[in-house]
Amino acid sequence: MTIKEEMFSRIAKVFKRHGGITIDTPTFELKEILSGKYGEESKLIYDLQDQGGELCSLRYDLTVPFARYVAMNPTIQYIKRYHIGKVYRRDQPALMKGRMREFYQCDFDIAGHYDPMLPDAEILKILVEILDELNIGNYSIKLNHRKILDGIFDVCGVPKEKFRTISSSIDKLDKLPWSDVKQEMVKEKGLNESLADKIGNYIIKKGGRDLLEELRSDKLLSKHEISLEGINDMEILYNYLECLDIHSKVSFDLSLARGIDYYTGLIYEAIFEPNTISNLCSNMKELQFDKIKNDYTGIGSIAAGGRYDDLVGIFSPKKKKVPCVGVSIGVERIFSILKFRLSTSTIKTNNTDVYVMEFGSGNKSPSMVKERLQICKELWNSGINTQFLYKIKPKFRQQFDAAEKDQIPIAVIFGQDEIANNQVRIKVLGQGEQNTGELVPRNEMISKILDILKKTSKNNSYIF
Amino acid sequence: MTIKEEMFSRIAKVFKRHGGITIDTPTFELKEILSGKYGEESKLIYDLQDQGGELCSLRYDLTVPFARYVAMNPTIQYIKRYHIGKVYRRDQPALMKGRMREFYQCDFDIAGHYDPMLPDAEILKILVEILDELNIGNYSIKLNHRKILDGIFDVCGVPKEKFRTISSSIDKLDKLPWSDVKQEMVKEKGLNESLADKIGNYIIKKGGRDLLEELRSDKLLSKHEISLEGINDMEILYNYLECLDIHSKVSFDLSLARGIDYYTGLIYEAIFEPNTISNLCSNMKELQFDKIKNDYTGIGSIAAGGRYDDLVGIFSPKKKKVPCVGVSIGVERIFSILKFRLSTSTIKTNNTDVYVMEFGSGNKSPSMVKERLQICKELWNSGINTQFLYKIKPKFRQQFDAAEKDQIPIAVIFGQDEIANNQVRIKVLGQGEQNTGELVPRNEMISKILDILKKTSKNNSYIF
């Protein structure tokens, strides 16, 4: 959680940098809201039992609940919202790859009627900023456009009603070879073989801006209206990405399809591509790199999203149409990369600054627990993060070990003499046990500690 | 969410001040884990549908999952953990009182074998600090001890197997008069009437430390071993509360029972007690006070908890016993108090500092959208929270209105002239529209803006 909270905080910082405000939606939605929105993935939705009342399901992503929220609130015509929350999929878990049945997503979405590709470009800028803030190392962002893809299907002769299911097949290309995907299209989805091969010839194309020229000169696509809309969008987008200086981080890849039904325009996916040993783990033998790299290239996308202009309209009672574009950060997958790279044992999980210790109490001497509580109270009331040992007559060693184990920087130490003289000893820990700390009048304790803390600035940036 | 996030952040600050580390547990647990832990409230648990695999339920609180976690991890012998998360209850919602089916709880728990009442006292200190940090106004914390309560039941003649169900009846005393509760004990739970009256004579007692003396001099209780353990605990606790200077915030109340089965020692509950009009709402007529006050006294407890020494053992395969004590902050109820008190319309929900505007583009003049994107890029890359209007040729008025609506403090403005001279205008907003801002060389834009922001320190403390 220490790592995850640091991740969330860096991600939220970027979201806020781009004007995002946060909303919260319920963990469960009406079952009918989620039905029919996710294509073949719908089978992974968790349903609640019918215990009386409405039939509900656990949310599958943060996008559909967001669209439902915008639709339900007629006054919302535009909004930039971010949401860090859990979603649920009845999938086969794969811990190593960060794939769980319950996992966090971090989403940013821009809703509203705007000029083409401006929000889309900012979303990609946000994605780049986040992946850089998280220091994950090498990655690439694949782009494609549903309208170009649909144009390809159309010119190849795929019947309209099969567009989405063929998209689903193509979406598997990151895990399966083309021969398997083609097999699925032919055997399961009833395309004839030459048609599948035509599709194959298109979706094999990858590149940058140059690929747009190639598509424009394609004799079929260049006359296809929908497809041309997509090509024009991509042209505008590339202009904006160059202004934002992130064009080198993206690649145009016609094989990117995305499994989810609701996308209507630009789609994208970020892939982790460890290219050096240091991307993975600082203290690992070079020899192991290939093996580990294989584990992680199987991790798939670490962020994805796209434009979905029709989803709000589906939920709106008055068919209010609000175009949207968004991105979802796959934090759990990124977490599994970071966790592997870090030496988790050295991460300080608490925020305690001071440990209050008594010495000299024991079988014969009385407990000084009341004085310890009073000192803790003063520290807490001054906002200083403080702990003490829950023993009436604690051994000194035991208190010292507890402070050391929690990597606490400062000890406030006292015995009968200090109490009698209205003093305490303040000792900076982790510098050897020789000295017994600085003797300080009790009423200077707080300011002295605040001074020390000011000098030892806390931050978690060492984490990753 | 702006209010809630501010609440969570203040609460987490106190949790960390006391050495808390956070863990996350799944939203659903195995159904069998939750069964039989909540007494009569168990009927409110949400079950997931059986879609193959294990039978699961949504978590009902954060305490049982915490105990399960400690039990499952044999190396954990002690831990101070906090958890801010959602829980689920199939209850009748009451929005006004902040009672929902899905709601946040903020829990702090201390697990481990320690000397009596030291962790318990710190938990109460944490509770006081949180209620004060949230500025909720007047509140009181009721204390009682399960062992004293069980002693009372025993000396009155209640059979042991009815202890918990009679506790449940007494727990209703905050909503029902004694006559109704007595009725329930007699008619539904089969106590005879004189026995119920004996209980009534005990549980009517309230007070401070003095009540301990009264109980010690009670001829039945003073000879009852379990009850004496409870009385001794309370004596020690009061000593510690005095050291921590929070003894005046608590009251000892024998009618406090808590509905949940798993408590074994000290129990407590914080109640919101609006005593002045300003506790509720600054701009309300005095006459309305009584009506509103009634709405809010119905709000019930705003925090509760207690000691549960046996729960970890129930889940532990090796019957590892780890005593625990904890508190749960009812943030949604506190939220409903704060929300009512605040004028929500004035709260700034975004964190944007700069709005980038172009002027002079229109039908005849070319768009300067590329320059706008480049300026935004520079600001974002310097970590400055920035927005712009997603229009290629935006009207100046429209950009200005958008910035004003979002209460954005600074505008960066430019037209063709500024571009030609490599300059921008920086205008502090909200100071009248007379001036057109300060003309600044483009390469000084960032430092100039950072200067302005440094002077206008951001904080949300005005909120509540």
Whole-angstrom Cα distance, residue A43 to residue B191?
52
Residues of B in contact with A27 (CB under 8 A): 27, 58, 86, 88, 102
| pLDDT tens-digit map of A35-48 | 988 887 888 999 99
Q: Above 80 in pLDDT, residue A193?
A: yes
Query: Taken in order A213, A218, A222, A226, is the CA torsion positive or negative?
Result: negative
- DSSP strand E in A254-365: where? 266-272, 301-307, 324-329, 354-358
Residues with Cβ within 8 Å of B132's Cβ and at least 6 positions away in sequence, in order, are none
- pLDDT bracket for residue B346 (50, 70, 90): confident
| pLDDT tens-digit map of A81-133 | 999 999 999 988 887 777 889 999 999 999 999 999 999 999 999 999 999 99
- Pair type for strands A423-428 and A438-441: antiparallel
Q: Give the CB-side neighbour count of residue A3, counting CA atoms within 13 A.
A: 21
Amino acid B462: pLDDT? 59
Amino acid B299: pLDDT? 65
CATH number of B354-458: 3.40.50.800
Classify residue A372 as exposed, middle or buried by CB count within 10 Å of its CB (0-12, 13-18, 19+).
Answer: buried
| pLDDT tens-digit map of A392-435 | 999 999 999 999 999 999 999 999 999 999 999 999 998 776 77
B115 touches A at CB < 8 Å: yes
**Distance from B368 to chain A by nearest Cα, in Å?**
12
DSSP B178-229: HHHHHHIIIIIT---HHHHHHHHHHHT-EESTHHHHHHHT-TTGGG-HHHHH
The helix (H) or strand (E) run that includes residue A173 is none
Query: Taken in order B116, B118, B119, B125, is the CA torsion positive or negative?
Result: positive
| pLDDT tens-digit map of B238-276 | 999 999 999 999 999 999 998 888 999 999 999 998 765
The annotation places the binding site of A for L-histidine at: 61-63, 89, 105, 109, 258, 262-263
Interface pTM (ipTM) of the complex?
Answer: 0.91
List phi, psi (to 5°) of B223.
-105, 0
Report the percentage of chain A scoring pLDDT > 90.
76
With a CB-CB cutoff of 8 Å, which residues 82-101 of chain B face chain A?
86, 88, 90
DSSP B44-64: GPPBBP-SSS--EEE-S-SHH
Strand order in the sheet with A423-428: A386-388, A354-358, A410-414, A423-428, A438-441
Amino acid A461: pLDDT? 55
Whole-angstrom Cα distance, residue B162 to residue B168?
10
Whole-angstrom Cα distance, residue A210 to residue B324?
65
How far, rounded to the nearest angstrom, does the alpha carbon of residue A11 sit from its chain's CA centroid?
Answer: 7
Residue A168's alpha-carbon distances to A163, A211, A221, B123, in angstroms, are 9, 23, 22, 53
Amino acid B457: pLDDT? 64
| pLDDT tens-digit map of A223-260 | 999 999 999 999 999 999 999 999 999 999 999 998 88
**Distance from B200 to chain A by nearest Cα, in Å?**
37
For residues A419 and A435, the answer to whether their CB atoms sit within 8 Å is no
| pLDDT tens-digit map of A205-216 | 999 999 999 999
Among residues B180, B144, B333, B346, the alpha carbon closest in space to that of B254 is found at B144
Judge: A17–B384 Cβ closer than 8 Å, yes or no: yes
Domain ranges, ordered by start, for chain B = 1-342, 354-458
- Pair type for strands A386-388 and A354-358: parallel
Judge: B27–A88 Cβ closer than 8 Å, yes or no: yes
Report the percentage of chain B scoring pLDDT > 90.
76
B24 touches A at CB < 8 Å: yes
B25 touches A at CB < 8 Å: no
B350 touches A at CB < 8 Å: yes
| pLDDT tens-digit map of A362-392 | 778 899 999 999 999 999 999 999 999 999 9
Determine the 3-state secondary structure of A54 from DSSP.
coil
A120 touches B at CB < 8 Å: no
Amino acid A268: pLDDT? 98
Nearest CA in chain B to A352: B19
What is the identity of the amino acid at A103? F
Residues of A in contact with B2 (CB under 8 A): 21
| pLDDT tens-digit map of B301-323 | 899 999 999 999 999 988 889 99
Amino acid A287: pLDDT? 44
Mean per-residue pLDDT over chain B, rounded: 91
Mean per-residue pLDDT over chain A, rounded: 91
What is the average per-residue pLDDT within B76-83?
96
Is CATH 3.30.930.10 what the domain over B1-342 is classified as, yes or no? yes
Q: Above 70 in pLDDT, residue B298?
A: no
Q: Above 70 in pLDDT, residue A199?
A: yes
Q: Above 90 in pLDDT, residue B4?
A: yes
Determine the 3-state secondary structure of B461 from DSSP.
coil
Residues of B in contact with A374 (CB under 8 A): 243-244
Q: Above 60 in pLDDT, residue A33?
A: yes
Task: Identify any residues that bridge with B329 across adjacent strands, giving them in sequence order.
Answer: B106, B303
Q: Above 60 in pLDDT, residue A460?
A: no
For residues B41 and B83, the answer to whether their CB atoms sit within 8 Å is no
